[in-house]
Amino acid sequence: MKIAIVYNRESKAVINLFGTLNREKYGLETIKNIKDALVAGGHQVKTFEGDKNIIKKLEEFMPSVISGERPGLVFNLSYGIQGKGRYMHVPGILEMIGVPYVGSGPQTHAMALDKIVTKMILIQKGLPTPKFAVMDKPDSPLREQLKYPLIVKPKDEAVSFGLKIVHNEDELREGVRGIYEAFQTPTLVEEYIEGREVNVGLLGNNPPEALPPVELVFGDGPQIYTYEDKKSLSGRTIEKVCPAPLTEEQTKKVQQLAIDTFNALDCYDSARVDFRIDKDGNPYILEVNSMASLGATGSFVFAADKIGLDYVKLMNRLIEVAAERYFGPHLMNTMNEEVTEEALQIFNIVTGNRDKIEGELKAWTNLPSWTEDPVGLSAVVRKLEERFKKLGLTLVDQYTNERSAWTFESKAGFKGGTLFVLPIDIPGNRRGFPIPFRKEEEWLYGEGIASSRGGLVTLLSALSALKELKLLGKKNIGVFFYADEGRGMRYSSTTLREAAKEAKQIIVMQPGFSGGKVADQRRGSKKYSVIVEGDPQRVGNLSKQLDVLSYFIQQAEKLKEISSRDKKLTVAVQDVQSDRYSVLLPHRVHATVYVTFINEKLAQEAEAQLREIFKSNSRGMQTYVEKLVERPPLLRKKNNPLIQKLSKISGQWNIPFGTESSLLATAAGEISNELPVVCGFAPASKDLYTPNEAIHRQELIQRSLLLAMFLLDQ
């Protein structure tokens, strides 16, 4: 599980810094000890300061999860940066953004940090606590009849800040003045209980487990645990004795009082309740530590060790009790049907490898291979050969031309099985440096990440999961890579059509659509080169003959009349370039006209109209129309068994799935209509075919899981 340890130490990253600053800090050694303990427990752990940037950091570290998967947890060590309610800040943020965390919630921390509120709740619940009063300022009257000696302490501070025994009114006023000047807060004044100091740690929920009581033996000096004692500044050593030398009856009593106090304040996971026991053996609750110290020498850790929970076990036990509180004892409690052991293993492999999958995506994305970049394409092919060799897939010479098409297959071969189709080139002829991989909360960016790399890593993730279970070699799987997507598959399409004849079904790893939708229909496309040439003309020439650029613009306007939304037919000018001499008007115009269609007959009619529009009858004007690329459409099939199968699996695993028609032509159109085909199985994208391409971060895992489960079932 991903665990984010959130603490406050150095950062003051807030919009405005004002109010009461936090004086409590976990030591770096303790933070490291906790991290090491959780890593030893098999968790993936990172540490973060709990400042205004925490939401973004957590979104990057633990993105949204899929149904049935445990999200990451925050191990909350945050005392806050500033303000009287600082304990509540990080838990409040975590609840708002939906991130589970170890420890009590904001409401509990608010009550426990305010000692006056805590005592009022204890009294209301009938739990014993020393008599007390509140003094707002040094000159405030002491209205309650309290017996000296008294204890003074700030009403909403911890770590024994300002704690002091006073024996008369002068000392009382002095103590209150010191607290008021240091903290600008009212002072809690309570009767000092002469006797023994004991604390009880609590671990777990419903009900919590009371740890053995710990007695603090103070030796010489004040018989209270001061700030100086806790920070080793007092010059004396406070001895901890556990189990505290109490009678069995006293032990049970303080443990039960601790549990009752834990429940009264709605604590979660862990806490520590501090007691004084008077000379007659009567316990009094002093306060509740809703964030009991996890320092190696603290009472909570000391007591846990006495019941067999060493530091590593204790830290991981805290994760367990929090996880059980949020998710229950069973991981797959959201499943609608019985899950096989192999399916559960696949689920855990894919979801447990989020960082590894994103890391591999980064590596592939930062390896550019534009269509016109033979060096980059060669590097990608070499890396693919190495990767597939590790997976146990071999090259199929019959369906590989080593220039634009490569086919790999599993040990069982792909005949009668599933053939995956995906491009390795990034369409376009860009110059300059490629746009590198970068990660945001919901999207992953990088050049070619949607048009090529997202589908590639989705497939590799699914195949790797099967490989880990030693199942990949038994599955009939083929993978067809091509390197001329940017040229409309001019050179690879024939090889693909031949390879597809061997397969039972085809999945094209082009980017999908939001909401988990794949493409069950895609338009075909035809690309034409239109050249218009004429005599050079001077600017301002009064000749009645149109110059070639004006002629092209005039004729291009007529193309709009061919397009029809109802007929799913589009004709558009995609690119225009002109040539001219010096200050003369252009004498040549070269344009690219793009046609998309579903109905082949309508496309042929559109081509005839295009040629007629650019058929010049003007003297001195010549036109040429040439078809450059032709890509067939993918036509929707009723009762597509491939879509039905994927839909069933996605329903079992609560993964979004659906179908949609697309305007863009892909390799799917090259497949025979007799074969079941699904296109757009890669993660959903945005800004496709631009330098700002991105894929949806959560869909990378969803698609990898769905594909792995599909192959498992083959």
User: For the chain, which residues make up each domain, given as ranges?
Assistant: 1-101+308-334, 111-307, 366-522+636-712, 524-631
Asked if 633 and 524 touch (Cβ cutoff 8 Å), the reply is yes
Class of domain 366-522+636-712: alpha beta
CB contact set of 639 (below 8 Å; sequence gap of 6+): none
Q: 524-631 in CATH: which number? A: 3.30.70.360
**79 exposed, middle or buried (CB, 10 Å; 0-12, 13-18, 19+)?**
buried
Report pLDDT for 457: 98
Write the class of the CATH domain 1-101+308-334. alpha beta
For residue range 422-465, list pLDDT tens digits in order.
999 999 766 667 789 998 878 999 999 999 999 999 999 999 99
pTM over 0.85: no
Quote the pLDDT of residue 489.
Answer: 95
Cα 600 to the chain's mean position, in Å? 44
Six token digits for residue 405: 């098409």
Check if 1-101+308-334 and 524-631 are the same fold: no
Nearest to 134 by CA among 152, 160, 109: 152
Kindly give the parts of the chain with pLDDT less than 50: 330-336
- Rounded-to-integer distance, Cα 380 and Cα 617, Å: 50
Q: Cα–Cα distances in Å, from 57 out to 5, 6, 52, 61, 363?
A: 12, 11, 10, 6, 22
Task: Quote the pLDDT of residue 268.
Answer: 96
Q: Are 479 and 459 in contact (CB under 8 A)?
A: yes
Can you give the pLDDT at residue 228? Answer: 66
Q: Which CATH class is domain 111-307?
A: alpha beta
DSSP code, position 337: S
Residues 6+ away with beta carbon under 8 Å from 36:
312
